Amino acid sequence: MALFIAIDNEGRSVVVFYGLILSLKNENIEWLFKKVKAAFEIYNLPLPKVIMSDDGKTVTPNIKKYFSTAKNQLCAWHISQNFSKKIQNPKIKFLASRLPYESNMARTNELIQRILDDPSISAKDLKYFKKKLLTVASWSVAFQNEHQNLGINTTSRIESINSKFKRFLNPNCRLLELQYFIDRVNETKKNLLKPTNRRFFFAKQPPKMKMLQEVYSNYIFEPLE
């Protein structure tokens, strides 16, 4: 499941779109972004100025294709983790993993040059590091301070929501359960309703739930008295 979240005027994370896809293959990701872009057009919504994502091979090209006016900001944490996994030299690994979080431009450039000039760096590590430097403006916090990103430099907000989904949902959940849980996540993040015996209890039925219930009518609902 792919989630799209936005930040409301009170600084809260809100799930605005979600899609169920089989894999991260380009054909699935492109279908997803095509549908999201269509929703923006149908409801005449202002296009996002900044879209944050991980460094996925299929995500970034589709952001550029369907939201060409938006700045694609890459998650600093994911980039740091990639450096830790891909670079073999312990010293270079340590320095490179710090780089995405450095907020001062002068120190960022100094750190980059220090890594490039280090005689212990291998040809393989150097090649990977130089490749990542081509997109440094997308993942370095020092560059991101110029963008309208509300000071957010990682995808930790969406990872937090993902953790809640993993806690309460499983592959056997019905579509109704998924939709209801998303509504609950948007409503509150403190008192999430945990499913008991695969039943949900609610006093007010959201419009989307009513629409889904017409299709999935075998689901059990018990309204609160």
Task: Say if residue 212's pLDDT is above 60.
Answer: no
Asked whether 36 and 50 are in contact (CB, 8 A), the reply is: no
Q: What's this model's pTM, rounded to 2 decimal places?
A: 0.76
Q: Where are the beta strands (DSSP E) in 63-215?
A: 71-74, 200-202
Q: Give dist(CA 205, CA 215) in Å, integer.
A: 15
Task: Say if residue 195's pLDDT is above 70.
Answer: no
Between residues 171 and 219, the one the model is more confident about: 171
Q: What is the mean pLDDT of residues 30-48?
A: 92
Q: Where are the beta strands (DSSP E) in the chain?
A: 2-7, 13-19, 50-53, 71-74, 200-202, 221-223
In Å, how far are 29, 97, 146 from 111, measured between CA atoms? 35, 11, 20
| pLDDT confidence band for 206 (50 / 70 / 90) | low
Q: What percent of the chain has pLDDT over 70?
A: 81
Q: What type of residue sits at position 32?
A: L
Between residues 141 and 216, the one the model is more confident about: 141
7 DSSP 8-state letter = E
Q: What is the mean pLDDT of residues 169-189?
A: 73
Q: What type of residue sits at position 177?
A: E
For residue range 111-152, list pLDDT tens digits in order: 999 999 999 999 999 999 999 999 999 999 998 766 677 788
For residue range 154-169, list pLDDT tens digits in order: 999 888 888 877 777 7
Task: Say if residue 186's pLDDT is above 80.
Answer: no
